[in-house]
Structure 1
């Protein structure tokens, strides 16, 4: 029950953050979506052994965390399970790539260890960039931007409705579990004999709620076409955000900035 309430609270936090009146929230969603996609593309394009170059890409999320006022530590805590899941992708690399790559003070670091760190870093940076996009842009704005760049209408509609239906489904699960706990006061948890009936009940309630949602959409003029909320014309004066990040990220990708700074000071 607490986990469901926590999940609902996290979704509410996302909505609240995306609707705050900050300058980063007022930038047109199209520019933020393009920058995020460009950043993720650059991050995944790094070679599996290019770990130092990948560290330079930390500049983008760190600056956005600072400018948006979103806590980095709270974000890491909220995404801890996803970050742990991402880490599992590269955990077996050291066993397959045993070629020595770095030798320092009698300490040998194999290519598998470096590629593991690089793979985890790519996943973490991509996840943080996606989180920042969702936290500073409403889901309607993201879907509107996706339609501008010609993402299929069916896919955009599925993204929006799935995002909006998740809280409804969680509420149905919460109400069902609360009803069971009130009827089975002495039960320590949910007895395995009623698992099937509870799942069936949740499914039926969800289908009924989905039908009610569909009827409401039809009453509001829905005829199979997705009508996104209009954000007005693209304000090209805000294109400085897109141009600036394109230039900065391209420089970070093609030049070893940290090495250049180190050579300059040394």
Structure 2
């Protein structure tokens, strides 16, 4: 499977995860979105040297991995490109903050090292929280929750269409590269002389498909606002789930 085919597979696999009939998947999307936002806010509010308090916040992603029956190994594999970039942010902290605050055996522990680890953990938690939200909630339900928070419809529509129809672009690109490889079986990759031609063809095909999609949407009554099929009121279990986690976040923050 080539890179484009692998990207399509990963997108479809994420949709399958969100469509699973798990208890956490059936929770109201607004509750899960609010909890993700609160978790990120509380995580970022910890001081740069408060490593102990920050580590306690790991209970949220751990519980979601267990309850949602999501493979941690597969998740790390899918995030293998994003996580190193996030960790790279605090890599230079030990250079600028060299104050020694303790020793690990005979190795001095500087404040820069501690702040580097804290910053990396904050980034990892943020990526995992966003990933778990997508893995347990479909994009339609997330957009429905965004509208409940009064996010402008045009922004929500852009998010929904970008996520949904990026697969259309990938499928067109995959089809073109497969056709090219069949005409040049002994060649690795696409020759640079035809990059411009293929890019132009991809643009034209994308514009045609975009026009077809828009016409289909207008024929089905689209007038700038989607009518989400995920509309449902918050139930008692949703409020209980939200209240328990908010109380736990408050305790972890105060005791941290």
Q: CA deviation at 1:237?
A: 4.2
Give unmatched runs, 5+ long, in structure 1: 257-266
**Distance in 1 of aligned mates of 2:79 and 2:191:** 31
Report the Cα distance in structure 2 between the residues aligned to 1:185 and 1:246, rounded to whole angstroms: 58
CA shift, 1:231, in A, is: 2.2
Hey, what does 1:138 align to over in structure 2? 138
Alignment partners' CA distance in 2, 1:150 and 1:101: 47
Equivalence for 1:150: 150
Structure 1's 40 and 189: CA in aligned 2 closer, same or farther, altered over 3 A? same
TM-score by length of 2: 0.95
Q: Does the CA-based 8 Å contact 2:154-2:224 persist in structure 1?
A: no
Unmatched tracts of structure 2, length 5 or more:
none
Partner Cα separation in structure 2 for residue 229 and residue 169 of structure 1: 25
C-alpha distance in structure 2 between counterparts of 1:126 and 1:239, whole Å: 23
Q: Does 1:22 align with 2:10?
A: no
Residues 23-63 of structure 1 show CA distances to partners (whole Å, capped at 9, x for unaligned) of 11111111111111100110111111111111101111111
Partners of 2:162 and 2:35 lie apart in 1 by: 24
Segment drifting more, 176-185 vs 138-147:
176-185
Alpha-carbon RMSD across the aligned residues, in angstroms, is: 1.4
Pairwise CA distance, 1:204: 1.3
Shift of the alpha carbon at 1:220? Answer: 0.7
Q: Deviations over 1:138-167 (max 9, x none)?
A: 111111111111112111111111100111
1:228-264 per-residue CA deviation (whole Å, 9 max, x = no partner) reads: 22422222442100000001111112114xxxxxxxx
Q: Deviations over 1:168-205 (max 9, x none)?
A: 11101101101111122332321111111111111111
